Amino acid sequence: MLSAARRRTRRTPWLQLLSALLELGQGKAELVRHSERAWASVTFSGTRHSVVLVFTGEEAVAAGEALIDALPDHEFSIPGQLVADAAVVRVDHTAPPQPRLEVGVEVLMLDEV
């Protein structure tokens, strides 16, 4: 059993997930929101992550569209975690004068044992 102090300092892998998503977005995304909640089934445990990224400008929107295309087949490499599901759950395009793309992503990460 972890002590209370150790539980507070134990890092979750969400920063590694965010880093991977930003890389998929070619460094053109801005993090708007992240939430994380525990997830468990009879045989697995892990976390479900909701992430909202915004891409502003033509070049950034193109990078966001590339992220949308690549995400379903992307192989994440996060130590101690298995990404069981990664899906785009919401896309909102805004037209010129300043093109903007907001992308909502849901990711289920399972703890490797």
**pLDDT one digit per residue (tens) for the chain, 113 residues:** 444 544 444 456 999 999 999 999 999 999 999 999 999 999 999 999 999 999 999 999 999 999 999 999 999 999 999 999 999 999 999 987 899 999 999 999 999 87
Residue 15: per-residue pLDDT: 93
Residue 110: per-residue pLDDT: 96
The residue extents of the domains of the chain are 29-111
- Specify the CATH number for 29-111; select among 3.40.50.2020, 3.40.30.10, 3.40.47.10, 3.30.2000.30: 3.30.2000.30
- pTM (predicted TM-score): 0.86
Distances (CA, A) of 77 to 4, 48, 52, 88, 109: 29, 16, 20, 19, 11
| Alpha carbons 29 and 12: distance in angstroms, whole number | 22
